[in-house]
Amino acid sequence: MELSNPSLPNNIAITTKLDEAIGWARESSLWPMIFGTACCAIEFMSVAASKYDISRFGAEVVRFSPRQADLLIVSGTVTYKQGPILKQIYDQMSEPKWVISMGACACSGGFYDNYTTMQGIDQIIPVDLYVGGCPPRPEALLDALLTLQKDLRTNKYNPNRHENFKGLLDNV
Amino acid sequence: MFEKMIVLSDEIHAFIKSKYDEGFNYLLDITAIDYSDYITQQEKDFALVYILRHESFKNYIVIKTYLHELEIETISDIFKGANWLEREVYDQYGISFKNHPNLRRVLNHKEFVGHPLRKSYPITKGQILHETDDLIDEMNHRLLSKGLVCKTDNGLFSECSKDLMFLNLGPSHPASHGTIRTYVALDGETVEAAVSEIGYLHRGFEKSCENHTYNQIIPYTDRLNYCSAISNNIAFVKTVEEMLGVTLSERAQAIRVMLLELSRIEDHVVCLAAVLVDMGGLTNYWYMYNPREDIYDLLSKLTGARLTNSYMRVGGMANDLYEGFEEDLKAVIKKIQHGVEQTLALIKHNRIFHDRTQNVGVISAEDALNYAITGPNLRATGVAFDMRKDTPYYGYENYEFDVVVGSVGDVYDRVMVRFAEIDESIKIIKQVMENLPEGDVNVKDASVTLPDKEAVYGTIEGAMNQFKLIYEGVKVPVGEHYSALEATNGELGFFIVSDGSGTPYKVKVKAPSFTAMSAYPEIIEGSQLADAILTLGSLNIIAGEMDR
Ligand code: SF4
């Protein structure tokens, strides 16, 4: 079978910027780690199942070990009791890493405005994309994923963007 | 049928023991009431409430005692299930239990100061946790009681027999279903001792009820057992309706039965899919999960939401079935049956499945009752308690279906009971749809349900009526009431205290997952680590419901 593209002359080289090549490579090799705590995690199950099928977008290798993942998807309510755990997971991921906050609870505490619930995970870890909804529909999460991929392709993310982030659990 | 009684606080232990001997051997719930803000002054500011069910399962009693001091004798020597329930009361209200084996917080974190369900605690006052509990102290006591460590003279613990390895299962681990943490002491692959820590998804449901109107609480109930949201809606509004004394139309009752059964299927499907994944059988997951998507489609057409439906209202439901619902439902049921058939074809005669599930994670009928385990987990042990048969509501007595029971109480039984219950639920749904009565779905009572839109926009009475009901809520007569129904995980009950306003004074959920989880450490001790994972999956612990 002919593997090369017959319409191109032999022995060509494509020149591009290194950043662009890396962005292109990252775009379709995201390894998500799912931090699912509540109802939103059940919707994540749908995203992974046949109908919505996250693997179509090249991000199906869901890891449950933070050390093997570069995209953290926080889906569900994060209570104060969960806080140190989420922070630990985030810290264990190696750079470069991205965070999607899925659902009203993760974004803002949702309608749990009470003594138990952290009013948004960005109080303790930096977030790159917020997905609204209680729970968001699977399409909404896929949309966030596509947005992230586009941003990676265009190198939107400054690698130092979280340098000055200080959360409630930093420096304790 | 139930009876209420008031007992002196120093006599509570003896009284409950005597009731236990009379056959009230199933502890449903223990909770406290803080009367300090109540409309009328009560004998004392704090009261404790014990709810016990009779072994015939037909009736229950509500025992109340006013507390002279914030301390009372534990009943955890009579009921194993009381252990965690009392810890919860201690955690939320600061009431101590004398002679309790392990009185510490259970839902709130270890750095938490104060007792949030006291009226004096502000609803929105959050407290940050800086470091997770290492559970070593609790584990040492557990090891001590099992003779695996010795206490040295200076009060420290030292290993005295086996060489143990300690491991955290969860809370962030796929097999721990998100938020459940179990700390185990392993000898090789065998779990020698285990302690569980819960509360990672404690979202303050009960406190939030105290500043929302009854109908505003319905969306919160969705998120208790989010795998079968509608059955939580129904359990809650049923309790409120009983307090109001309204009777639903026959059509509304029938629709509720149909939706309760559909939720049961929805829930069992996820539980089974997940437990089979835990076992390594990923194909089953697709077979079981696809029909769940079909149920979602049906429910979003009916209610507007896939998962968190909020479909019920006090006195009825948001809207009637849409035209063509019946055909859609029929198609969905076909798909469910197909998914179940395909899955069973893979596992029914599968040696690996049998070896991995039979005689694994066994709980005896006696222990299950003593822990107040309910629903499919209880029926798997051979106890045929099903509220749909024992204390029927919404006309369940008119439908023909069987109560499915197991014999051993192992993972296999729990899985198979759920499979068989899906069939029974389908039977019920078919009978409901064949004889679906005509009529309204909401009661016609201006003090309970909203008026028609025509009246709201066309008449001043209608507009006023709508305004008052939305702003003030449905006014529920002063009183205290417990009511329950057979939800997917078993008896799901609500205990509500009303001060006559449109907002409950107190709400307590009797959550089936809570009691099942309290039994979990004991069930897995002595078993293999991999079996502990299966056991957890087969108990179907839903964190939202357990931690509330
Ligand atoms: S956003 Fe809504 S659906 Fe998601 S976890 Fe929070 S309450 Fe549940």
Percent of chain A, pLDDT > 70?
89
Tokens at residue B211, please?
A: 């500043």
Q: Which residue in A46, A84, A117 is closest to B131 by CB distance?
A: A84
Categorize the per-residue pLDDT at B153 as very low, low, confident or very high, splitting at 50, 70 and 90: low
Question: Per residue in B355-405, pLDDT tens?
Answer: 888 888 888 888 898 888 999 999 999 888 888 888 888 989 889 899 999
Instruction: Please name the residues in contact with A144: beta carbons below 8 A apart, sequence gap of 6 or more.
Output: A100, A102, A129, A131
Whole-number Cα distances in Å, A77 to B14, B27, B508, B542 = 42, 30, 21, 14
The pLDDT of B101-106, averaged and rounded, is: 86
Burial code (b: 16+ CB inside 10 Å, e: under 16) for B149-187 equals beeeeeeebeeeeeebeeebbbbbbbbbbbbbbbbbbbe
Residue A1 has pLDDT above 50, yes or no: no
Q: Give the amino acid at B429.
A: I
A1-10, B320-329, B515-524: which has the minimum mean pLDDT?
A: A1-10
The pLDDT of A14-27, averaged and rounded, is: 76
A167 near B CB under 8 A: no
Percent of chain B, pLDDT > 70?
97
Categorize the per-residue pLDDT at A99 as very low, low, confident or very high, splitting at 50, 70 and 90: very high
Q: What value of ipTM does the predicted structure carry?
A: 0.86
Residue whose tokens read 């005295």: B160
A39 near B CB under 8 A: yes
Query: CB of A110 closer than 6 A to ligand 1?
Result: yes
Q: Is B49 helix (H, G, I), strand (E, B) or coil?
A: strand
Q: What pLDDT sits at residue A100?
A: 92
DSSP state of A54: G
Question: Per residue in B173-228, pLDDT tens?
Answer: 766 666 888 888 888 888 888 888 888 989 989 999 888 999 899 999 989 888 88
Q: What pLDDT sits at residue B1?
A: 64
**Hey, are the CB atoms on A39 and B130 less than 8 Å from each other?**
no
**Hey, are the CB atoms on A50 and B286 less than 8 Å from each other?**
yes
Percent of chain B, pLDDT > 90?
21
Which ligand 1 atom is the nearest neighbour of the CA of A43?
A: 3
Residue B257 has pLDDT above 90, yes or no: yes
How far B147 CA lies from chain A's nearest CA (Å)? 32
Number of Cβ atoms within 10 Å of the Cβ of B386: 26
State the DSSP string of B97-132. Answer: EET-TT---SSS-TT--S-TTSTTS-TT------S-
Residues of A in contact with B304 (CB under 8 A): none
Q: Residue B44: is it exposed, middle or buried by C-beta count within 10 angstroms (0-12/13-18/19+)? A: middle
Q: Give the amino acid at B74.
A: T
Q: Residue A158: is it exposed, middle or buried by C-beta count within 10 angstroms (0-12/13-18/19+)? A: exposed
**Hey, are the CB atoms on A116 and B203 less than 8 Å from each other?**
yes
Categorize the per-residue pLDDT at B172 as very low, low, confident or very high, splitting at 50, 70 and 90: confident
Q: What pLDDT sits at residue B135?
A: 82
B201 near A CB under 8 A: yes
B114-128, B161-175, B330-344, B351-365: which has the minimum mean pLDDT?
A: B161-175
Q: How many helices (H) and strands (E) are present in chain A, helices listed first? A: 5, 4
Structural contact between residues B222 and B229, judged by C-beta atoms closer than 8 angstroms: yes
The pLDDT of B338-342, averaged and rounded, is: 91
Query: CB of A103 closer than 6 A to ligand 1?
Result: yes
A76-90, B230-244, B276-290, B504-518: which has the minimum mean pLDDT?
A: B276-290
Tokens at residue B253, please?
A: 């009752």
Q: Residue B310: left (phi > 0), alpha (psi -120 to 50), or beta? A: left
B155-169, B476-490, B496-510: which has the minimum mean pLDDT?
A: B155-169
Question: Per residue in A79-93, pLDDT tens?
Answer: 999 989 999 889 888
The pLDDT of B449-475, averaged and rounded, is: 86
